[in-house]
Chains A and B, each alone.
Chain A
Amino acid sequence: MNYQLDYLDQLESEAIYIMREVAGQFERPALLFSGGKDSITLVRLAEKAFRPGKFPFPLVHIDTGHNFQEALDFRDSLVKKLDEKLVVRHVADTIKEKKLTEPVGKFASRNALQTYTLLDVIEEFKFDALIGGARRDEEKARAKERIFSVRDEFGQWDPKRQRPELWNIYNGKIQKGENVRAFPISNWTELDVWNYIRREKMELPSIYFAHERECIEYQGQLIATSPFIKREAGDKILKKKVRYRTVGDMTCTAAVESEATAIDDIVNEIIATNISERGETRIDDKVSEAAMEDRKKNGYF
C-alpha cells in the first residue's frame, strides 16, 4: 500500500501538531483571528485538531475599525457556526484610552496601532500564547522567525536571541509576563493555502472573489474608496472588477484586477502571477526595507 502522504496532508498534519503543542503546553492560549484566509485556515485546522471537543482557546480579533464589512460579517457567521468564543477589542478604544495619536495622510493606517490593542488584550486575559497565521514566505523578516517565537513583556521580538528550534520539539517555557507567538502554517506558501482552501471546500469572505468595486488608482495600486481614505481633487476614481489577495485594513490593502469568481480561477491566477502577495497588495510594507522587522521588534505579529 502507498503510505506516502500528499504534501498538503503533510503540511496539515504539521500544523495540527503545532496547535496541539500550544494546547498542551500553555494555560491561556488564544487564536488571533482577522477574518482573512490564513486565519480562516487556522480555524479549519483547529477543528481538525480538537473536535469533537471545544477549542482550548478563544478567537481574538483586534478590530482596527478599518475592516471590510464583508470580513466582519463573515467572522460573525463563522463564529456562530463554530459555537466558539470570540473576543473583539477595538483599536479605537485604545486610541481613546491611551490618548494615542492617529496617523495622518491619504491612507492613514492603524496597522501599527494594533500592537497597542494586542498587548492590552494579552494583559487583560493573561494570554501566554497566541496562535497566528503568519507564513514564512510572506516576508523576509518572517522567514527568520521560529514556529514558537518568544516575546518579552513588551511583546518584542529579538531576532538575534531566538531559541534554537530543533526537530519537532517546541520549547514553550517562558517567564511570567512573556508570551509565545505560535505559527502553525509557517511552512505554507500562499499557493499552499489556496490549494488547501480548495481541497477543504472552505468558505471565504466574498471580497476574495472578483466583484465590481469603486477604487482609487494610486501609484499603480487599486485602493477601494471608503470613509477611511482621504479623497482629493486629483484622485482617479475607477470602477473595476477586482478581488482581494489578502484581507487587511481598507487603508492599507490594495485590490487586484481579476475575473476570478471561483476558487479554481484564483488558484490559476496565483500560479500565473509574477508579483508577490505582499508586494501586490500591501501598501504598508513599502515604507522602508526593514518595515516588518521593525514592527515585529515592537510587538507586532
Chain B
Amino acid sequence: MDILRFITAGSVDDGKSTLIGRLLYDSKSIMVDQIDAIKSHGKNKLNGTLDLSLITDGLRAEREQGITIDVAYKYFSTPKRKFIIADAPGHIQYTRNMVTGASNANLAIILIDARNGVEEQTMRHTLIASLIGIPHIVVAINKMDLVGYSQDVFNNIVIDYTAATKSLNLKEVKYIPLSALLGDNIVDRSTNMPWYESDPLLHYLETVKIQNDINYTDARMPVQYVIRPQTEKLHDYRGYAGKIMSGGYKRGDAVTVLPSGLESKIKAIESGGVEVAEAYALQSVVLHLEDDIDVSRGDVIVKSENKPIVSQDLEVMMCWMDTKPLLPGNKYFLQSNSKVVRSMVKEIEYKLNVNTLEKQFASEEIRLNDVFKATIKTSSPIAFDSYKKLRSSGSAILIDETSNVTVAACMIQ
C-alpha cells in the first residue's frame, strides 16, 4: 500500500465539496456519528437528501458564510491506497491556499462545471498546478446530469481545455465526466454515460502510477540535526540526521557537503536505529562520515559525482502570499529545506496573468496572490537544483523578518 496526496480545485459552485463528500461517503470513510452531525445541521440545503458538501465544512466561520477559508485535510483509504486530500478553496483571493495544498500533491483534480465549460478560474487552477509541478492532473467535468449526460458537451470541454493549456506542457491529463451529486463515475462506471468507457474517478485514483514521481537519481540529504550523545560509551558518535529527499546512498559513497564543498565518504547509515547498507529517497536516516569535518544543520550532503548548483543568485517563479505588498529592496529570510539565509528580492522580471497566462512586463506592485518571476540575492551561497528537476531542492519560502510570516513560495528556475 502507498499514499496518494491530491488536491481538489474548483469554486464554491463547481461542486468541489460535494465531490469530496461523495468520495468519502462512497468509500465508507464517513462514520455514522458524522453523518448524524450533518443531518442535524440546520442548513441542509437539499430536502431529504444528505448534503455531502457539509462533510468538508470545518470552522464555524465557514459554516456561517458557506465558504471554505483554508486548506482542510481529509483522509480515506481503500485496500489499494491511503489518500490524503488537501481541500483548497477556489476563490480568487485564496490562490495562496491552493499553492499551499498543491505543494505536496501528486495529483490535482480540477473541477469544471459542465454547464460553464473552461472558465477563468479553470485556467488559474491549472496554471498553479503546473507551476507547482503536480505530476498528474484529472479534469473532472462535473454536473453532467445537468447537461443531459451529453457526450458532445464533454468532448467540447476536452477540446477547449487542451487548447487553452497547450503552452503549459502538462504531463498527464485524465478527463472524467461525472456527477458528484448523484455519484456518476465516482466509484462505479455511470450507466448514464455508456459512451465513457474509461475508469471512474476512484479507480483512477487507486491505480494512477506515482512511483516515478520520486527521483531516485540525484542524492540530496539536507542535514536537520546533529546527533552527538557525548557519553562515555558513545564519545565519538557523531551522526547527521535528515531525510533523504531524492536519490540514495550506500556505505562507501564519496560525498560532498554543501555549500562548504568539504569531501568525505559514507562510513555508516542508520535507519530507525539499525545500521543499513543503503538508504534511499523519503527515508529519514542518520549518516556517518569517515572524516571529522564541519557539518551542521542547513548543510546538504550529496554524492560527489552529482552535485547541485551552489550560488547566491537565484532566478525564481514566486507566488506572493502576504497582505503586505512586496517592497523592492526589502530583505527576507529565505528557507529551503533546513537552510535559512537572509535574502533580497532584486528584480521583478514579469508578472503572470494567472487567468490568461500572459506575461506582463510593466512594473507594477506585487500583491497578495500575484505570480511573478524575479531574481533573488542571498547573503551566503546555498545549494539548490532547478524546481523542474527536483521539487524538493528547488523549493523555498520567503519569511518576513519582522512579522515572521511566510510571504512567498519560491520555485527556483
Contact = CB atoms under 8 A, between A and B. Distances in A.
Interface of A: 3-7, 9-13, 16-17, 20-21, 23-24, 47-54, 56, 136-137, 140-141, 143-144, 150, 159-160, 162-169, 171, 173-175, 186-187, 189, 191-192, 273-276, 279-280, 289-290, 293
Contact of B391 (A11, A167, A174): A167
Contact of B33 (A3, A50, A280): A280
Contacts of A186: 73
Contacts of B166: none
Interface string B92-130: 000011011001100000000000000000000000000
A164 B58 contact: no
Contact of B58 (A5, A9, A141, A166): A141
B406 A171 contact: yes
Contact of A290 (B59, B211, B405): B59
Given A5-B283, A10-B282, A141-B59, A276 B404 contact: no
B333 A20 contact: no
B73 A187 contact: yes
B248 A23 contact: no
Interface stretch (B142-150, B169-177, B192-200, B392-400): B392-400
Q: Is the interface of B mostly helix, strand, loop or mixed?
A: mixed
By Cβ-Cβ distance, the 6 closest A-B pairs, closest first, are A279-B33, A276-B31, A16-B284, A173-B404, A20-B224, A290-B60
A168 B392 contact: yes
Contacts of A13: 243, 282-284
Interface in B380-413: 391-392, 395-397, 399, 404-406, 409
16 contacts: A5-B283, A13-B282, A17-B224, A17-B243, A24-B297, A48-B273, A52-B237, A143-B74, A164-B100, A164-B406, A165-B406, A173-B399, A187-B75, A191-B77, A289-B37, A289-B63
A2 to B, nearest CB: 9
B219 to A, nearest CB: 13
B337 interface: yes
Given A164-B409, A166-B395, A293-B59, A274 B31 contact: yes
Contacts of B81: 7
A276 B97 CA distance: 28
Interface string B230-249: 00001001000111000010
Interface in B7-26: none
B73 A143 contact: yes
Contacts of A5: 2, 282-283
